[in-house]
Amino acid sequence: MNGSVSTTRVEPLSQTSAPLTTNNLKNNMIREVWQDEKEKKPTFLWSYRLGNFMQELQERIRYFLKFDTTTRTRLIYKERIRFPTITICNENRVVLSKAKVMDPYTVEMIKLIWSPDPLESKTIEITDDNRDLANNSLMNWENAYITLSHTQKEVISSCVFKGELCKDSYLIDVSTTMGRCFQFNPRGQNHYATAAGSADPLILILDTKQHEYLAANSPSAGFRILLHEKDTVPEIYQRGIKLAPGMETVVSATLKESKYLPKPYGNCNNDATYRQATCFHNCSSNYVAKHCGCIDIDMTPKDKVPICAPLNFPCTRKKLIDYFKNQEFRKCDCPSQCDIITYQSSISGSPISDYYLQVINKDQPSLTAAEVDKNIVIVSIYFSSMISEEVTESAAYSWLALMSDVGGAFGLILGATFLTLVELIDFLVVSTFEYCTVKAHEKQARSA
């Protein structure tokens, strides 16, 4: 039987055909899927779904750009806690017996300049008799003020930490708004508490020495102490705890650590060495230096501006009042630091007992009950608990959460995955690039 055989000729790929690359395969597949979907779904339904997706996308992005935060507070038990830096200041800044080596007129001037009476005029007219006391460059006034102030050995009768006498290195001298003061556990030292309560305290016995008062910071006698972080300026005049003579004062502390987010979530400074109190202190120091030409012994910068002579201190006091009254501090760029350590204090006290007087009379037989009531201050400082409070600020809506919500909305509304969205974006980018390339070649061909 005669039959015919049908043959099919397979044409080779043309040299001008587009290369079969991964990108072309991917783009062709996306075009086919897109065309199939257009054939299956009405254009109106696609537009409606796409509109819903764009609305959801806009709302998610708007919420993300609000940069809202959440705050979590938790209590953490610690086996040891760094003991706070403790600044200790006598209410008197000039010792009478040391000032008497100068002439009586100078002593009277000092008494008037630092009078504890808030209504007494602090402005003294400069005359030929007292002109030297207004000369900032006459001598090193910083050294003079330190020489005229109390020393550690004069006012700190006893220092006991964890049941042992404090070493000389435990306490250092420091200049504050109250003059020469002393610090326990300053920067560079790391003394820790390992137990709560009075089992692990710092106990100080202080001597007020009221008979030596000449330039008092306030109408009261005694001391002020401040518990603070080691790297910050001690604002003891504003925040210090007053200790009265003849009393034992107990200060129990708790540790609070706060961690906040910098921009764009907040306005705190994330520099580990930055402290807001130090920034404001430097700002006020510059304000005083600008208007008075000199500064107090606790101010900065000491290397450029001299320490004020006694008769120029009224200027520094007045300008500090103006600094706060006129809200000059608002001109300072001093945001809060992101990591804040605070020691919250609870204070109690009671009179020193007659029995304790009998005990200390063994070492100091000349010490009378009247002397104790007038001069002796006892203070005990410890942590009330080894549980610290930790406050942590975190982003309420993170970048990962935004991407997750966008992918979820894309899948729920358009029936696709986040990977499909990425592929679509990739397709648009590649197509645009290829279109621009072709147009560029055509333009070159026409110009040739």
**pLDDT at position 96:** 94
Cβ–Cβ < 8 Å for 183, 87? yes
Query: When comparing pLDDT for 403 and 388, which is higher?
Result: 388
Query: Residue 304's pLDDT band (boundaries 50, 70, 90)?
Result: confident
**pLDDT at position 333:** 93
Query: When comparing pLDDT for 185 and 110, which is higher?
Result: 185
Across the chain, mean pLDDT equals 84
Q: pLDDT over 90 for what percent of the chain?
A: 50
Sequence ranges of the domains in the chain: 22-66+400-447, 74-95+149-275+339-394
Provide the terminal-to-terminal Cα distance of the chain, rounded to the nearest Å: 65
For 23-57, the pLDDT digits (tens) are 554 455 445 544 555 455 557 676 777 777 788 78
**pLDDT at position 413:** 63
Residue range 353-370: average pLDDT? 81
- Bridge partners (DSSP) of residue 440 are none
| CATH placement of domain 74-95+149-275+339-394 | 2.60.470.10
| The pLDDT of residue 270 is above 70 | yes
The span from the CA of 100 to the CA of 107, in Å, is: 7
**pLDDT at position 26:** 46
Q: In the numeric block, which tokens belong to residue 92?
A: 């008197």
Neighbours of 351 (CB within 10 A): 12
For 8-24, the pLDDT digits (tens) are 444 444 444 444 444 55
Global pTM value: 0.77
**pLDDT at position 385:** 94
Residue range 140-149: average pLDDT? 90
Residue range 61-84: average pLDDT? 92
The region of weakest confidence among 63-77, 102-116, 162-176, 181-195 is 102-116
CA 36 to chain centre: 61
**pLDDT at position 199:** 82
Query: Residue 399's pLDDT band (boundaries 50, 70, 90)?
Result: confident
- Bridge partners (DSSP) of residue 250 are 348, 380
In the Cβ-directed half-sphere of 216, how many Cα atoms lie within 13 Å? 16
